[in-house]
């Protein structure tokens, strides 16, 4: 397939792998975090770990929107879906995310809740138009990539005078999560986790640009290379990070220059700014409360805010005590360090959120890489 | 001489008519639908017996029997419809056992209000598919459910075939060292359905691969290659089928991604919708596992058949207590090809 195969070329991958192998300094370690679930998936799906020297270790970050949504918000969504007559629209990944007592939207659906999988927020608006007698709620999740489309439908619903449509907003922000990780005690004081550099988000960066990462590179002295989601993008980004680290540089570099500019998509940014505002604090699964890390709908669009319309309460639900999702999302532990992994927690019966989405570190490792421990 | 007049019977309106509750009531309307539509289309001596069951000559040897329900939505799709699919599905299940499919029975659940014109199209497509596959549809049943309680038409077919002498194929026969062959591209059926549902169009439309595999299977059996397992990778795709075999046989598998063919538009649709073609359904493909020395000969035979032109050897059976199906990726890495989690596509067959 054109524009895809070029970035999955085996011969080129071997070439880059050879360069990485040649350039790494055998006396040091390279601990690189890929922030995005998309990168985690590519690394596992294409078996990229097999192409890297032993001292280059990839640490899977918290950039999977499904994984970081706290159980309390999932519980809110389930309760919402059980409201008589209501239609809850969401992305397919959300369906199996476990909340309290093993309940999920999928199970709620089997018990009669009207939950519909949509591929885009626009589909939810369409469903609202087709069902004028019923309340339709779009469960909005995701980082900066999915935020502009949500903003768009909120504006569209208002323009259309759709009174039965609202959005349950759970949009979160990448830069605040990265700084939260970099400021965590594990990294700053305890030294439990050494993070040498970041592979920066692909799609998120097309919206926000490369500029927001300049602060991390400067303040924390960590190199960032923004990379696309194809396997060659990831390999190239690793090589670029190895070079920066070898040369003692900590800069923002852009491997994904075919889609990302320094300023990003200004039109999308303005749209988001028009509809959303910062929440003072938002709970992330695994990271806990993170200040100024999420968005809520502005007052002038309050009519479309499901949180107000349905009086959605703040619920906090603790994860299973043995579940290591929190530590895994912070990069402190690996999936195989968790006692539940592959035992009671599998993609078919996920206990923690990292096992739900194929972009989650646990599901990716279980589905693609668990032969490594079996050997 | 009797003075009783023969009542005029209005023919079934296959243009504007719709299924109503009387079509399943057991009365005259139903009898008329059966004779004007089903009997006329399927037309064979066994069905013509007109009894509660079909009386069939006893075949020598071992019998194979399989059943398959079909609930696909949309009912008509590029490359086929629920009618031919319901024939191919069961014919293939019988054929990959190593048997020659002979007879089918078909059960229809019709929804009140369903256009008779569409039903006619479906039944004629079934008849055509059965003729092509060389099987007779010898028994049938029709039920009607109220509007909203079905989705147009559901068809269940049961197939009977006679096993080829001396052949035993079974999912537990794969041994380390065996070769794994695939008869062609993967993911065509599932993505044909889904792209139609999502309104996705491509320069070259995605066409379902639905087809009867019995003549390809016959050629493969004729070749004399030592076949261990044959299976058609339908729901759950190639990945699921190979995991089933690996578990049944207590072996592992090592596949080579570059040997597995995917049509370009299928690949593109999978990219857009986030699917892995390894998990997408096929309705006209088979997987064969055979002794390593016979693999090349078998491949040659498959490639001379129209349904096996793009056949390839996609991997080997290996020893593995974990029964992992693994794959070397195009990038040169290694990954597991795991069981499907949850459902990938709703209602595709």
pLDDT in tens, A1-46: 777 888 898 899 999 999 999 999 999 999 999 989 899 989 998 9
Per-residue pLDDT band at A347 (split at 50, 70, 90): confident
**Spatial separation of the C-alpha atoms in residues A70 and A329, rounded to whole Å:** 12
Are residues B187 and B127 located together in one domain of the fold?
A: no
Determine whether the interchain pair A369/B268 forms a contact, defined as Cβ–Cβ distance below 8 Å. no
Where are the strands (E) in chain A, listed by range?
30-36, 56-63, 87-90, 114-117, 136-142, 165-171, 197-200, 224-226, 252-254, 276-278, 281-284, 288-291, 295-297
Look at the pTM and tell me if it is higher than 0.90.
no
Any domain includes B7: no
Q: What is the CATH number of the domain that holds B199?
A: 3.90.650.10
Chain B residue numbers touching A105 (CB-CB < 8 A): none
Q: Is residue A92 part of a domain?
A: no
B199 has a chain A CB within 8 A of its CB? no
- Do residues B151 and B204 share a domain? no
CB proximity B347 to A under 8 Å: no
Task: Give the residue from B236, B275, B324, B331 with the most A CB atoms within 10 Å of its CB, the best one to mutate.
Answer: B331
Of the listed ranges A126-140, A344-358, B190-204, B334-348, the least confidently predicted one is: B334-348
Residue B13 covered by a domain: no
Same domain, B129 and B210: no
Is B330 in the A-facing interface, judged by CB distances under 8 Å?
yes
Interface contact A375, partner B, CB < 8 A: no
Of B198, B264, B335, the CB nearest to A47: B335
Do the domain assignments include residue A340? yes
For the segment A295-323, the average pLDDT, to the nearest whole number, is 93
Q: At what angle do helices B264-273 and B188-197 cross, to 10 degrees?
A: 60
At residue A308, φ and ψ (nearest 5 deg) are -80, -45
* Secondary element (H or E) of residue B64: strand B63-70
Give the domain range for residue B256. Answer: 179-336
CA angle A154, A158, A161 (to 5 degrees): 140
B169 in any annotated domain: no
B92 HSE (CA, 13 A, CB side): 25
- Round to the nearest angstrom and report the end-to-end CA distance of chain A: 34
B149 touches chain A (CB under 8 A): no
Whether B268 and B155 map to the same domain: the answer is: no
B332 within a domain of the structure (yes/no) = yes
- Cβ atoms within 10 A of the Cβ of A121, count? 23
Asked whether residue A335 is domain-assigned, the answer is yes
Residues B259 and B316 in one domain: yes
B206 touches chain A (CB under 8 A): no
What is the number of domains present in chain A?
A: 1
**Is residue B304 included in any domain, yes or no?**
yes
Task: Describe the crossing of helices A147-160 and A266-275 by its angle, rounded to 10 degrees.
Answer: 60
Residue A78 has pLDDT above 60, yes or no: yes
Does B342 sit within 8 Å of A8, measured CB to CB? no
Give the residue from chain B lying closest to A358, CA to CA: B341
Cβ–Cβ contact A366 with B under 8 A = yes
Determine contact: A46 vs chain B, CB below 8 A: yes
Contact residues, B window 267-296, toward A, CB-based 8 Å cutoff: 267-268, 271, 273
**Is the same domain home to B249 and B299?**
yes
**For the domain that residue B68 is a member of, what is the CATH number?**
3.30.1330.10
Q: End of a domain among B131, B163, B195?
A: B163
* Calpha distance A158→A149 (Å, rounded): 14
Q: Which of A51, A119, A370 sits opposite B333 (nearest CB)?
A: A51
Confidence band for A190, pLDDT divided at 50, 70 and 90: low
The pLDDT of residue A66 is: 85
Residues B211 and B323 grouped into a single domain: yes
Q: How much is the pLDDT for B278?
A: 96
| CB proximity list for A171: less than 8 A, separation 6 or greater | A140, A141, A142, A143, A144, A146, A147, A150, A276, A294, A295
Question: Does residue B344 form part of some domain?
Answer: no
Q: Are residues B116 and B257 in the same domain?
A: no
8 Å CB contact of A47 and B267: no
Question: What is the structure's pLDDT at A327?
Answer: 84
Contact (CB<8Å) A369/B335: yes
**A5 phi and psi, to 5 degrees?**
-55, -35
The ipTM assigned to this model is: 0.82
Alpha-carbon gap, residue B243 to B336, rounded angstroms = 11
Model pLDDT, residue B189: 97
Q: Is residue B12 part of a domain?
A: no
> Can you give the residue range of the structural domain that contains A331?
325-369
Q: What is the pLDDT along chain B (349 residues), one digit of tens a residue?
A: 566 667 777 889 999 999 999 998 888 889 999 999 999 999 999 999 989 999 999 878 999 999 999 999 999 999 999 999 999 999 999 999 999 999 999 999 999 999 999 999 999 999 999 999 999 999 999 999 999 999 999 999 999 999 999 999 999 999 999 999 999 999 999 999 988 887 777 777 899 999 999 999 999 999 999 999 999 999 999 999 999 999 999 999 999 999 999 999 999 888 888 889 999 999 999 999 999 999 999 999 999 999 999 999 999 999 999 999 999 999 989 999 998 876 655 566 6
Which has the closest alpha carbon to B249: B269, B275, B235, B231? B231
B69 and B190 assigned to the same domain: no
pLDDT in tens, A242-279: 999 999 999 999 999 999 999 999 999 999 999 999 99
What pLDDT does B348 receive? 62
Specify if B307 maps to a domain.
Answer: yes
Which of B136, B163, B190 is at the close of a domain? Answer: B163
Judge if B59 and B104 occupy the same domain.
yes
Domain count, chain B: 2
pLDDT at res. B346:
56
- Three-class SS of residue B146? coil
For residue B346, give the chain A residue with the closest CA.
A117
Distance CA A92, CA A112 (A): 17
For residue A197, is pLDDT > 60?
A: yes
Distance CA(A144)–CA(A311), nearest Å, equals 26
Sheet containing B252-256, strands listed edge to edge, beginning at the edge strand earlier in sequence:
B227-231, B287-290, B179-182, B312-318, B252-256, B325-328, B334-336
The secondary structure of A155-186 as a DSSP string is: HHHHHHT-TTEEEEEEEB-HHHHHHHHHHSHI
């Amino acid at each position: 397939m054109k524009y895809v195969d070029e970035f999955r070329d085996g011969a080129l991958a071997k070439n880059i792998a050879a360069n990485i192998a040649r350039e790494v300094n055998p006396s040091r370690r390279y601990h690189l975090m890929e922030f995005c679930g998309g990168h985690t998936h590519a690394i596992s799906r294409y078996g990229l770990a097999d192409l890297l020297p032993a001292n280059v270790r990839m640490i899977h970050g918290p950039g999977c929107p499904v994984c970081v949504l706290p159980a309390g918000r999932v519980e809110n969504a389930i309760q919402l879906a059980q409201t008589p007559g209501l239609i809850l629209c969401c992305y397919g990944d959300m369906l199996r995310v476990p909340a309290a007592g093993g309940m999920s939207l999928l199970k709620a659906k089997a018990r009669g809740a009207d939950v519909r999988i949509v591929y885009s927020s626009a589909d939810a608006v369409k469903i609202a138009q087709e069902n004028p007698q019923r309340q339709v709620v779009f469960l909005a999740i995701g980082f900066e990539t999915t935020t502009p489309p949500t903003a768009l439908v909120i504006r569209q619903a208002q323009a259309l005078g759709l009174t039965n449509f609202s959005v349950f907003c759970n949009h979160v922000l990448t830069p605040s999560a990265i700084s939260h990780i970099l400021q965590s005690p594990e990294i700053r004081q305890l030294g439990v986790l050494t993070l040498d550099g970041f592979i920066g988000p692909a799609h998120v960066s097309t919206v926000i640009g490369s500029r927001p990462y300049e602060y991390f590179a400067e303040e924390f002295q960590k190199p960032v290379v923004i990379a696309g989601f194809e396997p060659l993008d990831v390999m190239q980004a690793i090589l670029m990070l190895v070079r920066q680290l070898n040369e003692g540089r900590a800069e923002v570099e852009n491997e994904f220059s075919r889609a990302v500019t320094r300023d990003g998509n200004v039109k999308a940014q303005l749209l988001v700014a028009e509809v959303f505002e910062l929440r003072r604090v938002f709970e992330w699964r695994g990271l806990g409360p993170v200040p100024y890390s999420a968005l809520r709908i502005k007052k002038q669009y309050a009519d479309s805010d499901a949180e107000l319309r349905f009086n959605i309460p703040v619920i906090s639900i603790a994860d299973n005590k043995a579940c290591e999702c929190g530590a895994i999302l912070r990069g402190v532990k690996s999936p195989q360090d968790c006692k539940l992994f592959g035992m009671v927690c599998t993609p078919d019966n996920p206990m923690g959120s990292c096992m739900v989405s194929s972009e989650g570190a646990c599901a990716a490792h279980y589905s693609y890489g668990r032969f490594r421990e079996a050997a | 001489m009797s003075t009783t007049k023969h009542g005029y019977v209005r023919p079934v309106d296959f243009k504007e008519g719709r299924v109503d509750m009387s079509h399943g009531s057991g009365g005259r309307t139903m009898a008329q639908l059966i004779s004007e539509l089903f009997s006329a289309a399927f037309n064979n001596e066994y069905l013509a017996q007109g009894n509660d069951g079909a009386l069939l000559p006893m075949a020598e040897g071992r019998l194979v029997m399989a059943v398959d329900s079909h609930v696909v939505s949309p009912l008509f799709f590029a490359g086929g419809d629920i009618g031919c699919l319901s024939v191919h599905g069961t014919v293939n299940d019988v054929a990959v056992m190593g048997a020659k499919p002979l007879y089918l029975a078909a059960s229809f659940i019709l929804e009140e209000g369903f256009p008779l014109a569409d039903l006619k199209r479906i039944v004629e497509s079934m008849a055509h598919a059965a003729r092509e596959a060389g099987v007779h549809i010898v028994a049938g049943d029709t039920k009607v459910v109220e509007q909203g309680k079905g989705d147009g038409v559901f068809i269940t077919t049961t197939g009977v075939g006679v096993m080829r002498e001396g052949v035993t194929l079974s999912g537990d026969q794969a041994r380390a060292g065996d070769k794994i062959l695939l008869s062609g591209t993967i993911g065509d059926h599932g993505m044909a359905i889904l792209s139609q549902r999502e309104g996705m169009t491509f320069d070259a439309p995605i066409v379902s691969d639905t087809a009867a595999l019995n003549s390809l299977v016959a050629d493969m059996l004729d070749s004399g290659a030592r076949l261990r397992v044959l299976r058609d990778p339908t729901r759950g795709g190639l990945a699921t089928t190979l995991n089933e075999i690996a578990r049944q046989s207590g072996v592992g598998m090592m596949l080579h991604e570059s040997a597995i063919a995917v049509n370009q538009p299928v690949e593109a649709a999978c990219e857009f919708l986030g699917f892995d073609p390894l998990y997408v359904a096929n309705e006209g493909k088979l997987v064969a596992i055979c002794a390593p020395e016979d693999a090349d000969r078998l491949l040659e035979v498959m490639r001379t058949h129209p349904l096996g032109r793009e056949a390839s050897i996609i991997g080997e059976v290996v020893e593995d207590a974990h029964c992992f199906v693994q794959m070397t990726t195009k990038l040169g890495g290694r990954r597991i090809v795991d069981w499907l989690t949850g459902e990938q596509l709703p209602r595709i067959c």
